[in-house]
Amino acid sequence: MEEWVGQIWHKIITRVADDHYPEAVVTLEEVSQPVGVLFRALGGDGALRVTACEATANRARRSWLQRIAGTHQGVELAWRDEQTLRLPPRIDLFPERQLNRQLYRWLAAMAARQGYQGGYQGGERPGQPPRSWLQHNQQLTRELLHHYPGLAPLYAELLEAQLARRPDPETLPAEEARLERAIQQALREPGSVKEAFALIRPPQPVHLWLHPSPPLTPEALATRRHDPDEPQGGGSTHDPEEQRQRRAERTEAPEENQGLLAMRMESIMGQAEYVKVDRGTEDEEDMTAAKAAADDMEFLSVTQGKTSASRIRFDLDLPSAADDDLTLGEGIWLPEWDYKKRLMREDYCCLQPMLARDAPPMPLPDHLRKTSLRLRNQFQGLAPARIWYRGQEDGSEIDLDAYERFVTQRSRGEVAEDGRLYRELRQGGRDLSCLLLADLSLSTDAAISNDARIIDVIRDSLYLFADALEATGDRFALYGFSSRRRDHVRFHLLKNFDERYGAKIRGRIAQIKPGYYTRMGAAIRHSTRLLAAQGGSQKLLLIVTDGKPNDLDQYEGRYGVEDTRMAIHEARRQGLRPFCVTIDKQGRDYLPHIFGSSGYVVIRRPSELPKQLPLLYAQLTA
């Protein structure tokens, strides 16, 4: 009975204390795409992805009703860092849904105006807005309204709604009332408040401004990116609540023989009933309660205990020379772009061309024969028809039209051109070259079904792609790549431009296997050299991958994305057309920055890649 009454009381007091409008809620998932477009259109960093922020502690004064209900202890405010633009996962501050949607747009515009380099990056101490916080947000607001006057009506609507939520300064203590009047004045007339405030208690959150003290710094992100126990790949989710980051702190693990005794010793019936179980390595756990508890915590304390993953994780060693593929040459040194220093590091990466050691000729797998036959029939329509070349000095037969003109001119006494009275039937040409570069990193070992892995899908795609292009007569080459740091980028030769596709090439394709990591920039630069050396007016560089550029060193994260982007720019400057085909569901977060809005495609169902890849080629080269 007491529990039932307590639950009813909790629901009632929480509902009364809540000043939000759940019926008008707008989630980040609904607006992430248009908000991302607006952010980049206003000059925001194209490499940043839009994701959900976490709630941080709200140390402002709460009403007695809120304190009784235990609500308003956290607040979700927007900020940006080196990797992401973080916005609230949901906004239900205003009674009108359109206003909540407009707030997302305004926050994205504010973040776009805030330059990361040299910009304001947080408070002087946790939970306390710095003295520059008020001036900084005023400056951003004033610049936005000055450079984009079309935002003025939007800001006016949000300002009225925000002021309605602000506390009355007359009800606050003197110091807090003084700061509150300054904030409201700064909201009405950005730039009018020049005074700095030494705060005893933080003010009420200003939802139209960026976070006064962002909890995650670039240094913390860099530390997490280089954590040796951090998995190289992550699962995909569409729930903004799942995507948001949590504040964390490192702490020492408790000693095994110390802790709180949670039971009376006399309640232990016998020694035989005690079973030592490692609950930290359960295969199946109900994580619902743990997740709910984590969502309510401001900090998550993490220890360096020996988890199952850390016990089996090891640095991937290269196989012995006798077991590895054949190396072709001493290696090729290539540059790499360092976006932090804004310079190209010459001869920084060593790319090693390789060839399968044992690759006997192979027929086309039986399960692909039917699909291959259909594709070949379709692609034969792309093959150029045989045409007559007229006015030739020599040929298979006389060109009657040219001969008739010649005789007529001679009979009139005119000087006739002779020697070009033949015609020749020749095969036409599409004047096109294509190089397909396949990602063979370790992540391709992941399963997509009970019967297939990503590497199996890529292998089938190469079979069908090569079969289809063989029917058109187009010049093409096939390569694969993976990497293990900058000094060992493996570049696997499957078919070069001068080889004819057949059982020998299929034998090499059959031997591809998951490799190491994905240093994409070096592989693209070498592919650019190979493709640029080919003739033809059209040169297509087709990249097939399953994830972001990464490696064991600093190539993880933004560094790898920027180097790949620079490699794509270099390829375009040489007249190539790069295009990316990915099965990464999160590809839209970073591929527009690397390849442009029309330079990539995401295959939602990886099993469809073998059928879709040749059809994409047909569309790109039509």
Q: Write the CATH number for 574.
A: 3.40.50.410
Are 412 and 519 contained in the same domain?
A: no
Q: State pLDDT tens for residues 567-587.
A: 999 999 999 999 999 999 888
Question: Residue 536 above 90 pLDDT?
Answer: no
Provide mean pLDDT across the span 268-283. 48
Three-state DSSP class for residue 104 = helix
C-beta atoms surrounding 613 within 10 Å: 24
Reference 429, options 537, 510, 585; nearest CA is 537
Provide mean pLDDT across the span 267-272. 47
Are 402 and 522 contained in the same domain?
A: no
Beta-carbon contacts of 67 under 8 Å, excluding residues fewer than 6 positions away, are none
Residue 601 lies in a domain: yes
Q: Which 8-state DSSP code applies to residue 245?
A: -
User: What percentage of the chain has pLDDT greater than the value 90?
Assistant: 39
How far, in Å, are 391, 408, 418 from residue 414 at the CA level?
19, 9, 12
Are 352 and 492 contained in the same domain?
A: yes
Q: Is the pTM of this model over 0.75?
A: no
Q: What is the pLDDT of residue 380?
A: 74
Q: Compute the distance between CA of residue 564 and CA of residue 550 in angstroms, rounded to an integer.
A: 10
Residue 265 lies in a domain: no
Residue 520 lies in a domain: yes
Q: What is the pLDDT of residue 544?
A: 95
Q: Compute the distance between CA of residue 185 and CA of residue 24 in angstroms, rounded to an integer.
A: 28
Are 204 and 75 contained in the same domain?
A: yes
Q: What is the pLDDT of residue 409?
A: 79
Among 182, 202, 219, the domain boundary falls at 219
Query: Residue 357 sits in which domain range?
Result: 326-380+430-620
In the chain, the amino acid numbered 503 is A
Among 219, 248, 271, the domain boundary falls at 219
> Band of the pLDDT at 505, cuts 50, 70, 90?
very high
Among 396, 427, 458, the domain boundary falls at 427
Residue 38 lies in a domain: yes
Of the listed ranges 309-313, 563-567, 568-572, the least confidently predicted one is 309-313
Q: Of 411 and 151, which is predicted with more confidence? A: 151
Question: Residue 282 above 50 pLDDT?
Answer: no
User: What percentage of the chain has pLDDT greater than the value 70?
Assistant: 76
Are 392 and 456 contained in the same domain?
A: no
How far, in Å, are 292, 470, 472, 582 from residue 382 at the CA level?
58, 11, 6, 25
Provide mean pLDDT across the span 243-262. 52
Q: Compute the distance between CA of residue 527 and CA of residue 524 in angstroms, rounded to an integer.
A: 5
Angle at 490 between CA 492 and CA 575, to 5 degrees: 70
Q: Write down how long the chain is.
A: 622
Is residue 515 within 8 A of residue 442, CB to CB? The reply is: yes
Question: Residue 564 above 80 pLDDT?
Answer: yes
| DSSP bridge partners of 27 | 90
Q: What is the pLDDT of residue 595?
A: 93
Q: What is the pLDDT of residue 272?
A: 47
> Band of the pLDDT at 543, cuts 50, 70, 90?
very high
Q: State pLDDT tens for residues 194-204.
A: 877 766 678 88
> What is the helix (H) or strand (E) element at residue 561, kind and residue range?
helix 558-573
Average pLDDT in the chain: 79
Are 477 and 490 contained in the same domain?
A: yes
Are 32 and 161 contained in the same domain?
A: yes
Q: Of 429 and 436, which is predicted with more confidence? A: 436
Are 347 and 422 contained in the same domain?
A: no
Q: Compute the distance between CA of residue 18 and CA of residue 39 in angstroms, rounded to an integer.
A: 31
Q: Which 8-state DSSP code applies to residue 432?
A: E
DSSP string, 333-352: EEEEEETTTTEEEEEEEEEE
Residue 552 lies in a domain: yes
Q: State pLDDT tens for residues 29-76.
A: 999 889 888 988 888 887 788 888 888 887 777 777 777 777 777 888
Reference 43, options 121, 105, 104, 110; nearest CA is 110
Residue 244 lies in a domain: no
Three-state DSSP class for residue 236 = coil
Structure tokens belonging to residue 110:
């504010």
Q: How many domains does the chain have?
A: 3
Q: What is the pLDDT of residue 72?
A: 74
Structure tokens belonging to residue 346:
């010459």
Are 410 and 471 contained in the same domain?
A: no
- Strands 577-582 and 538-545, how do they pair? parallel
Residue 258 lies in a domain: no
Q: Compute the distance between CA of residue 3 and CA of residue 26 in angstroms, rounded to an integer.
A: 34
Question: Residue 235 above 50 pLDDT?
Answer: no
Q: Of 52 and 333, which is predicted with more confidence? A: 333
Q: What is the pLDDT of residue 508?
A: 95
Are 423 and 435 contained in the same domain?
A: no
In the chain, the amino acid numbered 302 is V
Residue 92 lies in a domain: yes
C-beta atoms surrounding 227 within 10 Å: 10
Q: State pLDDT tens for residues 166-184.
A: 988 888 888 888 888 999 9
Question: Residue 223 above 70 pLDDT?
Answer: no
Structure tokens belonging to residue 157:
């609507």
Are 399 and 451 contained in the same domain?
A: no
- Strands 422-427 and 386-392, how do they pair? antiparallel
Are 466 and 580 contained in the same domain?
A: yes
Provide mean pLDDT across the span 533-558. 89
Question: Residue 124 above 50 pLDDT?
Answer: no
Q: State pLDDT tens for residues 204-214.
A: 889 999 988 88
Is residue 475 within 8 A of residue 433, CB to CB? The reply is: yes
Reference 213, options 199, 193, 227; nearest CA is 199
